[in-house]
Structure 1
């Protein structure tokens, strides 16, 4: 899972890649000077920002990038006229607190994308075969990456973009830019209700409003005489936190009277020492009669809140349940020291992951056996065999697999047509046609005409103080019903 020791850690490109780009730029400049001096015109292009180079990004991503590169080489060598390109756009560097994705999450995201590529390319009569390229959309990098992508649509045979990162401002700008050219996009993790109704965008993750409804339904069963308080991040640049908070308010208001709901408590994750504010919020909660907390913020703020709750005698004595959205998956990795004091399970954390290993491992899961096989160890190209040291519990490999899988299914609808005439605009039209239904690893996915997935159930997990996950139940994103008192 995430191997990032601190939320403020910068994920930078590899030193080798930076040096290689610098050497290539120097060579190009030198050639231009020579050619101009000779009275010749020379048109050159900078190195592509879309890459499958193993040294392009952080060293922890070298293995998966090398696997993508090897599969791409195999496709180009064996099927030179029968492949198309899908570009995975992710914040591959930068401050994790701003991008929302840790190094472990990025690694799992690329692994899931590659898994979908491998299984598609091994099918009989698989044309068009799939080539993957990766681009960095970290704040400060995304404009150059998107400009390069737009310039290379035809030369690289680009038909779709997947990934797109978390629901932050940089992601919105990328979507806005690609939407102008009607380039097909399949978002793997975006859940913000604000980032919808873009003509070329679809997503495979449930909206924050759906997650909020599923959590409230579950909370009614898990906490007798529910008395909740909402804790929200006021960071204006984080659409995820903002829309999750609004969804909690909108969902709780019809089912709980005002006397049963505490006044919302806020913090700003962009401020220095925001954890101190969160600690004070925990003290306020423990001084009230609240028995549930609906948390609308990024995972980095949860440890401070949970530690504060678990160190308070009043909170421990009456039990407190914390409910959070899918970003909590960033904390779903085993740690030696507990994130908060266990206190015999008196402080509990539940969250709605976008997917979980139970999707592809449990016998009772409704995921197709053929899709489960992609993630098992019974096949040499199964996830467990390819990446034996990894875990599926954060759901990111599953969600990015499904994003690429959905893009492939849309492309396949044109398989009998002339590939040379097929572009990302046609794929976007197919994705938004209301006809795409996929039995994915995260469950059945039906894309409506607004580009949103229709999900009948959302998993709810419990996260232990040591970062382990325990499946709680499936909950419906239907309205929670009236329990007003």
Structure 2
């Protein structure tokens, strides 16, 4: 009995700690599992919204938003909700998808103004296509594709868009793109390489156009553009300056340019060099500056521009024109430096490209500089007054712009709107509207007889036919495309930046020196 009792005691004495040990071990496993699960939910779930996620190593939400998602930008919310309502009303299989591809997660206030206005314009074109086209098909679904702000952040978005061409989304075109940057150039090459038609809204660099410098075949098959190339903008500017130059007084010009440059600034520089040959402006000096790789950043170029401003004052007194080939951040720094120049008694005129439109909303711009013998004139992509002040008989029409005005009025309230506060001075809403109009035109012209949905490959084939009676009556002017998808003799508004903070329309200019004929047929 004693031996039995001893055995029982030993067994049960050890059993109690063993049970406790197992209980503690199990609890530890459960806690660890819970912590792991929480970490997995909070750190490894990289989804931002349907179709949008954060790639590994990045906190930026990129991809194609297939639902109502504003990419964390409250300023987009109202227009994104309006797009969501419009998309929700599309029933059955009678629609195709168009993606608006822009860097929706940009942190630059001036870039966000541009993006917001293009987004509003694209939506207005979508709404008009679905409600004001006498039941034409297919109807249009609009989605937002974020290309991101990193060097390669566009890649997962482009891969996703390619997949949407083969799914029930029926993606048939990508519009927008944004600035003429190296990443955007790579994205356009990838999209068109997948056979996806692209409609550039505000890309102007010659390097992002087909048919340049005799290059064959076209590097971007299926690319169409609403905006003229930098070369065409410079030609339009040259025609304006020749008509307005003071023939009695020689005017020498100084070229200030971005070195090493990007697709936009390089082609603008080359265009300005060509402009000076045979123009009223005789070259006197070229002065480079080197901005940060991300040209939306301040860097140290303000110091460089202080030095360049001293050189400006050292030029001969008949040097009155400065040709500026740079981005808007550097242009703002340069204008601010000129506002504090040592030769305030001398008058200077800065001529530059369409990037100057960003300065309309630039809070850091020293507007007082524009009150002291300094003017800034630039080629804009569009302007709300261009077709309201004694417009020419061809190249565009007041009625086409008034169509957009009626849409804006309708979009101030439901069912079409609201779409948030709108602004037209920078031309971005107008050009965003026209880009999607061109996309809709190409899609509907590609629909074969007896069908309602076009083949993807057929949409990009429509661009060479966009001329004559098949031109697009854009709010920015007629869109007549050459065989390479570039607009022919597109209206170019010459605009002045004012001290009051807006953009004042001066007059229309034309790459060919005059408006196109009524048939709007590019030469063979």
Common fold by TM > 0.5: yes
Distance in 2 (CA, whole Å) between partners of 1:356 and 1:439 is 15
- Alignment of 1:375 with 2:388, yes or no, is no
Residues 1:132 and 1:321: Cα distance change in structure 2 (over 3 Å): same
Q: Deviations over 1:251-276 (max 9, x none)?
A: 2123368xx31221111111731111
- Secondary structure at 1:227's aligned position in 2? strand
1:147 alignment partner, one of 139, 159, 173: 159
Residues 1:388 and 1:376: Cα distance change in structure 2 (over 3 Å): farther
Q: Which position in structure 2 is the counterpart of 1:395?
A: 427
- Alignment of 1:227 with 2:246, yes or no, is no
Distance in 1 (CA, whole Å) between partners of 2:74 and 2:311 is 43
On the 8 A contact 1:375/1:382 being kept in 2, the answer is: no
Q: Which position in structure 2 is the counterpart of 1:40?
A: none
2:481 alignment partner, one of 431, 447, 462: 447
Distance in 2 (CA, whole Å) between partners of 1:56 and 1:102 is 14
Runs of at least 5 residues in structure 2 that lack an aligned partner in the other structure:
1-40, 51-60, 211-219, 294-298, 515-524
Distance in 2 (CA, whole Å) between partners of 1:122 and 1:145 is 29
Q: Which position in structure 1 is the counterpart of 2:505?
A: 471
On the 8 A contact 2:102/2:178 being kept in 1, the answer is: yes
Distance in 1 (CA, whole Å) between partners of 2:48 and 2:440 is 35
Q: Deviations over 1:160-192 (max 9, x none)?
A: 110011100011111111121221111000111
- Secondary structure at 2:144's aligned position in 1? strand
Q: Which position in structure 2 is the counterpart of 1:112?
A: 121
Q: How far apart are residue 355 of structure 1 and its match? A: 0.1
Residues 1:200 and 1:23: Cα distance change in structure 2 (over 3 Å): closer
Larger Rg: 2
Q: Deviations over 1:250-305 (max 9, x none)?
A: 12123368xx3122111111173111112211211111122100110011112221
**TM-score, scaled to structure 1:** 0.82
Distance in 2 (CA, whole Å) between partners of 1:107 and 1:471 is 22
RMSD over aligned Cα atoms: 3.1
Q: Which position in structure 2 is the counterpart of 1:413?
A: 445
Q: Which position in structure 2 is the counterpart of 1:38?
A: none
Q: Which position in structure 2 is the counterpart of 1:311?
A: 340
- Alignment of 1:404 with 2:424, yes or no, is no
Q: Which position in structure 2 is the counterpart of 1:327?
A: 355
- Secondary structure at 2:375's aligned position in 1? strand
Residues 1:158 and 1:335: Cα distance change in structure 2 (over 3 Å): same
- Alignment of 1:137 with 2:169, yes or no, is no
On the 8 A contact 1:189/1:205 being kept in 2, the answer is: yes
Q: Which position in structure 2 is the counterpart of 1:160?
A: 173
On the 8 A contact 2:447/2:455 being kept in 1, the answer is: no
Q: How far apart are residue 479 of structure 1 and its match? A: 6.8
Q: Deviations over 1:375-422 (max 9, x none)?
A: 247852479984573210100111011111011111121345455762
Distance in 2 (CA, whole Å) between partners of 1:111 and 1:21 is 34
On the 8 A contact 1:86/1:162 being kept in 2, the answer is: yes
**TM-score, scaled to structure 2:** 0.76
Distance in 2 (CA, whole Å) between partners of 1:350 and 1:73 is 44
- Secondary structure at 1:102's aligned position in 2? helix
- Please list, as runs of the form range in 1=range in 2, the aligned pairs for 1:50-129 lying within 5 A after superposition: 50-75=65-90, 79-94=91-106, 96=108, 102-123=111-132, 124-129=134-139
- Secondary structure at 1:107's aligned position in 2? helix
Q: How far apart are residue 47 of structure 1 and its match? A: 10
On the 8 A contact 1:192/1:239 being kept in 2, the answer is: yes
